[in-house]
Amino acid sequence: MHFETPLEYLESRTFDEISVGDTSSLMRTLRPEDVKLFALMSGDMNPALAHAEFRNSGLFQDFIAHGMWTASLLSTTLGTQFPGPGTVLIESTLHFARPVTIGDTVTVRVTVRQKFDHNHHIILDCSCLNQDQLLVVSGSAEVLAPTEKIRTKRTAMPVITISDKYARLQVLVKRADGLAPIDMAVVHPCDSESLKGALLAADANLIEPILVGPEQKIRSVAEENGFDLKNHRIVNVKHSHEAAAMAVTLIRSGDAEALMKGSLHTDELMAEVISRSSGLRTERRISHVFLMDVPTYPRPILITDAAINISPVLQEKVDIIQNAIDLAHVIGTPEPKVAILSAVETVNPKIQSTLDAAALCKMADRGQITGGLLDGPLAFDNAVSLVAAKTKGINSVVAGRADILVVPDLESGNMVAKQLEYLANALSAGIVLGARVPIVLTSRADTAETRIASCVIAALIAHANRSRQKAS
């Protein structure tokens, strides 16, 4: 006989109601948050379970569950389904046959082997199989079964989110430990957040800010907010447009090696950057990348392009992808996995983004895009979720493990990035690539933390540029 418990209630099977051969089962799918939460609760920070660096070493393909996570499913089955509420676990012996990775679906089964009338003990055979019907755990359990019927309403469990944005910011800042601060022209820092971000980045030893804008206004903002300008250089200009032009001039003269947008419109700054006569163009298409540290995703993820190129064509997407891959290398991902997004996973002639994705993947095969692993078209869920990818039968090294998300156009990319920031509590950084120097291109609504995070990325890029120049 196989027992199933109604979802709304937990109801025990008494000792007298149970017969040898009776079974019960429970099914669960391992998710990334399960791995994190178990590590947090147990204090077991085994790198095989929690660290991306160890996972990428080749010992394991994916994050794996702690063995006791699977064992806990057995306990859940015994305590909530069969025998159910009132059951006391006396002893268990388990053998762990193979690891459980994210996206695996485990089916737990318990079967009554023996009953003992004198003490109401029951011995059950236990097994756990994955979605491929391969044995994960086997063993036995001895329990004290309830002698009286217990029926209770199932308690709704709270949703748990593990997130500390400040701690994640500090981890990001540490990436620049040991690097000398870079000279950064801060363009028109005439509001509290843009000025605060520049000063905090300076305090973190990331940048030496050159404040370009109306000096009186900059000093007024500093005084109103209690900011100490110390001995930071101020280049006095009349207005924001002149500030943008002067900042580009500082780059071209070698006085600065990075730009940061302050309280001016993006178009105003970028018009000076892309000027063919006096700007900062290279042979590469200029594009923007969001670096997002999302609490529910196991690694930082890059999203491009969500701020510069409105509706990029195929050749422009080549540069957009290459810029993002180069950035991934700088931040420590030697072979980033690039997911080219669309609404579907198959090539559809009616959806241009799927055609572009197929062409881009083939271009990568032919060496026209280098340094990363490309796959597409992929829908968003299949790009970031191993569970979704496995459910849909997508066999890909990129699916569910993406380091870079290439969006079809600016609108979709901006929405994805802003949703992650405001609804998923993601720590974000924004950087413009493809120009002579990195450009911190944040929104006027962005916090100082976002500006600091962006400065970290700019500093890493600037130092990488220095190394390349020395090598050449």
Choice between 54 and 151, residue whose per-residue pLDDT is larger: 151
At 101-136, the pLDDT tens digits run 888 899 999 999 999 999 999 999 999 999 999 999
Final residue in a domain of this structure, among 92, 125, 153: 153
Q: Is the pLDDT of residue 187 over 80?
A: yes
Distance from first CA to last CA of the chain, Å, rounded? 75
Q: Find, among 209, 195, 300, the residue nearest to 247 by Cα.
A: 209
- The Cα–Cα gap between 410 and 463 comes to 29
Report, as an integer, the average pLDDT of 9-37: 87
Q: CA triplet 313, 319, 325: central angle to 5 degrees?
A: 130
pLDDT at 428 over 90: no
pLDDT value of position 158: 62
Of 153, 186, 220, the domain-final residue: 153
Residue type, 311: S
Whether residue 286 is found in the same domain as residue 149: no
Classify residue 230 as left (phi > 0), alpha (psi -120 to 50) or beta: left
Does the structure show a pLDDT above 60 at 54? no
Flag whether 50 is in a domain: yes
Q: Would you say residue 68 lies in a domain? A: yes
What is the number of structural domains in the chain? 2
Query: Is 46 within a domain?
Result: yes
Residue 267 inside a domain? The answer is: no
Q: How many CB atoms are closer than 10 A to CB 353?
A: 21
* pLDDT for the residue 425: 84
| Rounded alpha-carbon distances, angstroms, from residue 351 to 93, 343, 354, 356, 383 | 55, 9, 6, 9, 18
Residue 368 has phi, psi (to 5 degrees) of: -80, -15
Asked if residue 94 is part of any domain, the answer here is yes
CATH number for the domain that contains residue 376? 3.40.718.10
Is the pLDDT score of 52 beyond 50?
A: no
Token code pair at residue 423? 């609804």
Which CATH number goes with the domain that contains 100? 3.10.129.10
Separation of alpha carbons 256 and 243, rounded Å? 14
The tens digit of pLDDT for each residue in 134-165 reads: 999 999 999 999 999 988 887 766 665 556 66
pLDDT at 366 over 90: yes
Q: Which of 136, 153, 170 represents a domain boundary (last residue)? A: 153
> Are residues 146 and 289 both part of a single domain?
no
User: Is 374 part of a structural domain of the chain?
Assistant: yes
Is 471 among the domain residues? Answer: no
Cα distance between residue 111 and residue 304, in whole Å: 52
According to the model, what pLDDT value does residue 46 have? Answer: 54
State pLDDT tens for residues 235-260.
Answer: 999 999 999 999 999 999 999 999 99
Q: Is residue 201 part of a domain?
A: no
417: helix, strand or coil: helix
- Determine the structural domain holding residue 387 and report its residue range: 282-434
Nearest-5° Cα angle at 20, 140 to 13: 85
